[in-house]
Structure 1
């Protein structure tokens, strides 16, 4: 067992991104006010908190003692958007960044070193932001998924075009052993890793829409046992409910970051 609480970080079994390459392996939030953010997500998702070694502006969220997400209270200081960002496991951060740029995407930050690994913040050619992580994972990948089940959905202009873009970067549906599986199901492109649904891609977002929630973006979904209780807690702690759809509710935290809570079920 190795101990490291940097972002990505926490108490972690030493498992590298080589074991789940191409799959989402972490999510992080940039916020303006750490205390407000901590109080909100504790109330809505039941998280506890661990200080990160990167500094006083950083926290690691814990679910049942397992690190599940990173919080960086640097949105104002670094002039960054308040938003949730998914990170994908890669075997080489340099190769992944090069592939993104070769295919019309952009590199906003990195790759930079965050021992025990390297990270970069990128955008696809339609403007959706995502990150990559090379190195040791926060915790064993399946342990992370059990502690706070999460999947991500890309709202984009053209799902098939996006699937090709990301597939070429992350070796989805390739001949490599252990790669992610990609299928078209129920009007969406569905990504599976080790049997789990870890991402979905859906068409319809508009690049020029004035509303950022309609423009291409990755939406983070947290799986919970009681969607209605999460929605009530969000409203009681300075957040808002943006939309309700049966087993899914889209929420906004007090800083403006958008995410979805989804009813726990077999996927």
Structure 2
């Protein structure tokens, strides 16, 4: 178990959320699957609801904003920033597109949404009272967020320019996968970038989220029991045993049991 206090380093995946058409259905699904419990949502935050494990924030669910056209639900990964206005300029200078302009979320912090040059959506978060994940790497909490791209070199160019990442090959058999490192923490990679394989050519470039589970094989039946579906796995790879699934609104995410030790 890894608890976390305070803001996350700039460039680190620090939060995930999803907008869903029926928030009560999604609450029941994720509570049953990952053990989440939910805050009461405040009207001034439009029904946005934090999920918790042992009282610590792990993710959030939200209904669509009034008048908002509901798109296909998908998990949004937020990358931490110490200066949202400067990041906004960096994103557009590097060829990204502003989807939601920087906005203050009361005392919680400030957020913005962007699309990178491939059209992949990501969020940016400058923390206030809400600093992002309060726990990671335990059953039900986020353990990894990464990016899948059709052009690894171009993606590294964009995110390297915006967030200062440097990259090194992860040595993943059968796939091209690069670990991204922050300038001030060259020994620890907060995220990774994967080049699409031939079977993934039709998939969009996207950020994705992976939740830690204690026994991924036991989750196969559980996912289906509570209203999800299995896309792939479970299968072994150098960093554990992985299962790729969908939730009640066909949103994709992964479940991972790391290797012992």
Give distance in 1, aligned partners of 2:122 and 2:160. 14
Structure 1 residues 26-45: aligned runs within 5 Å: 26-45=15-34
Q: What is aligned with 2:149? A: 156
Q: Unaligned 5+ residue runs, structure 1?
A: 1-11, 174-181
Partner of 1:59: 49
Instruction: Please state how far the C-alpha of 1:255 moved relative to its aligned partner.
Output: 1.2
Query: TM-score, normalising length from structure 1?
Result: 0.80
Q: What secondary structure is seen at the aligned counterpart in 2 of 1:112?
A: strand
Is 1:183 the counterpart of 2:168 in the alignment? yes
Matched, 1:168 2:161: yes
Residue 35 to residue 64, structure 1, CA distance change in 2 (3 Å):
same
- Uncovered stretches (5+) of structure 2, i.e. residues with no partner: 236-240
1:242/1:229 CA distance change after superposition, 3 Å: same
Number of aligned positions between the proteins: 240
Asked if structure 2 preserves the Cα contact closer than 8 Å seen for 1:48 and 1:61, the reply is yes
Q: CA shift at 1:99, angstroms?
A: 1.2
Task: Determine whether 1:88 maps to 2:76.
Answer: no
Mapped pair 1:113 → 2:107: no
Q: CA deviation at 1:76?
A: 8.3
Kindly indicate whether residue 212 of structure 2 is the aligned counterpart of residue 223 of structure 1: yes
**Residue number in structure 1 paired with 2:60:** 70
Residue of structure 2 aligned with 1:23, choices 12, 31, 35? 12
CA separation in 2, counterparts of 1:216 and 1:21?
A: 22
SS in 2 for 1:61: strand
Q: Which runs of 4+ in 1 moved over 4 A?
A: 192-197
Alpha-carbon separation, structure 1, partners of 2:193 and 2:65: 27
CA contact (8 A) 1:151 1:199 kept: yes
Cα distance, 1:60 vs. partner?
0.7
Cα separation, 2, equivalents of 1:80 and 1:192: 35
- How far does the alpha carbon of each residue in 1:56-97 deviate from its partner, in whole angstroms, 9 at most, with x for none? 622111012110101111178522431101001111111112
Distance 1:146 1:165 in 2: 28
Are the aligned partners of 1:85 and 1:130 in contact in 2 as well (CA < 8 Å)? yes
Match of 1:204 in 2: 196
Q: Please name the residue that 2:238 is paired with.
A: none
- Match of 1:83, SS? coil
